[in-house]
Chains A and B, each alone.
Chain A
């Protein structure tokens, strides 16, 4: 990472071209882009609320220090250049000089320091800024982040929706932890991004308008963005088809994706989800009963036919996933996997001491947290029946009920979907780190513990050389795929849908969770 970053000094003019990798020639300006949000928004302030629903409006309202191109290379945004010291312990951001908040106040290094504090105190992903000990502000346009150890994940943590720069003079009027309930998170928002808030009507829509004093000359191209809140996927599909909605992201139902692909006026693409990195897996509780034996976990992997999941359940919309890191990530190292082999599975179970008695080797439970993955769970039950494992499917009334079971280790197996969130340090380590066991959902709920894995993650977290870092993660993925605390089956098939009028649709690594200031309408 260091080699890439060191000494990058790009001019603002160049950044305007490079930011999206698309040279903006012959674009039109103006118009209202009608887009859609699949669930109600809780909070528009992406510095205190993470998640994909807030990410889209949040990244339009608030700018971050940098953005990424399609090749996972950091590009200037609010920081026109940056420098990482040789020891990796100081990161200096040189801010764009003419940047203003929506109320006209200049964006200064004070605001960067304040935003880091707010995110550290309120954002759920503590690993993003944990090594940042202090932020110095030698002048209005220079912010120096002092780190306790080298932290290459910081680059991705400073992009997309993850680091929203807030105005200190607006959000700094109370306790730092109170920012998450600040009254101006949902109305009278003062942001730093290309669009400003016009209206947020809970359950109905979010309307944004072009910010004329945005610090990139000539951007954004659109006059307005309407984000309608439509929670029913079938209704959204009809709205794409009849042109009522120009664009929407995070569509994940295979049936609907395949139907929309057949509509001539629509483009349906899985591009744009590499950084968010959503992957599906079969979690196995390594601390309890037969599943504490790695041979039993392998036997289950050999009995579950991934091919069936890909073709029949996901209907070809999802990609294979083998290792805990999303296949679009530069750190992904594909693993060989477990081709279905019932004989091998039975042999492993015999070897582990679970012979067939009265037609059954053992009884296990499987949980799921949301109705969408019930087919996967039912399939696992049927597949394991073939190797004489009885499976009881346990439905949960709602998410908290399921989360409770996961968080307290009250499960054998569970279907789960977890997001990478940019750098592996942010979204991957949490599942395998032995110091992160049993502390709520989406931690290391499988109670997996391997000293070498812990060591590899610790080393990768501070390794500033990209190639060495890749090698560390390659070994990490090999162990994970071999020891199977979770069996990785497929990516969650998020797709972006847009019609012919939408040009420069967001398909970078952050998808719509990054400013869409170069999107334009051809009408």
Chain B
């Protein structure tokens, strides 16, 4: 019952948060000089005042601010995210077209980075001054410091140009024919470089954190007790210490998942990945208010769902979390 109640309160907060996100962003978009009519005229190579006025009238941009805002919020309350001015397509449709690509990229990169990062952290924590440990520290610093667009281009030059193992851009080769497996392999090949690029950033975070917490745990009393009981080193490390070190890593993973859009924007740009990040970037450039707000709405949803899932995962690994919390 208590759990349900706390979820209900959270859901209530979430709705308020969503409305605040929309109102705030709508107002900010409105404050900036110029509007989508200007970017449409740019894409056309120029337009006269008459046509600009006509475009503004078509999209209701000639109305006062509060009417535009009211109309928009009214639409959202009826689950209508509106029509993209720039692409003349329903925003929901645009986002749903792009969402799977981003989720595929981000989730794969996250899971791989989490898995490899934790293993690297654990292994290096066991010998903090060993070569491997220094290597992990170096890799972490490098992965975190190197800008993703640079890593991406370097990987492209190495693996798409020098040795042509992987394709340069996009998510699939439309000229490929064949069944499900042919396409599966094709998409997988397109994913390798973007996943490595995006994953290297996450990997750096996870391996460092896992290493640090693991070192701390390995020094604690219960680990010494376990060793004293005569358990094998592997049993101590993987059964006792690791489980106790995971909470911070999972919390971090949850936080990172919230950055699903922001983290993917640059990687998507470099690899022309047809995801939400690219769409967000292009919509901001184009001042396409409905699309930007729609993406922010979805991002807020993703953050909320991500937080709930993180919470759930923490309860699973650590019984102290939850209960009355």
Which residues of A are at the interface with B, using a C-beta cutoff of 8 A? 32, 34, 40, 42-43, 49-54, 122, 124-126, 177, 180-181, 185-186, 201-205, 207, 224, 226, 228-232, 234-236, 238-239, 241-242, 244, 397-401, 403-404, 418-419, 421, 427, 430, 439-443
Contact = CB atoms under 8 A, between A and B. Distances in A.
Interface of B: 32-36, 38-52, 54, 58, 86-89, 94, 97-98, 153, 156-157, 160-161, 164, 167-171, 174-175, 269-272, 274, 278-279, 282, 284-285, 287
Contacts, number: 160
9 contacts: A40-B87, A42-B86, A228-B170, A231-B269, A232-B269, A234-B156, A239-B160, A244-B168, A440-B48
A205 B174 contact: yes
Classify the secondary structure of B's interface with A: helix
A122 B52 CA distance: 11
A186 B34 contact: no
Nearest to A276: B45
B161 A404 contact: no
A479 B60 CA distance: 43
A420 B157 CA distance: 37
B272 A400 contact: no
B49 A204 contact: no
Given A177-B54, A403-B34, A439 B168 contact: no
Identify the interface centre among A224, A229, A232: most chain B CB within 10 Å of its CB: A232
Given A235-B156, A239-B168, A441-B42, A401 B54 contact: no
A150 B199 CA distance: 64
B156 A403 contact: no
A242 B164 contact: yes
A208 to B, nearest CB: 11
Contacts of A398: 34, 284-285, 287
A283 to B, nearest CB: 14
Contacts of A40: 87, 282
Contacts of B94: 202
A50 B45 contact: yes
B270 A232 contact: yes
A42 B48 contact: no
Contacts of B47: 124, 440
A163 B48 CA distance: 19
Nearest to A370: B42
Given A124-B51, A181-B88, A244-B167, A235 B270 contact: yes
Contacts of B48: 124, 126, 439-440, 443
Contacts of B40: 42
A400 B46 contact: no
Given A235-B169, A235-B270, A399-B39, A50 B44 contact: yes
A442 B38 CA distance: 11
Contacts of B169: 228, 230, 232, 235-236, 239, 244
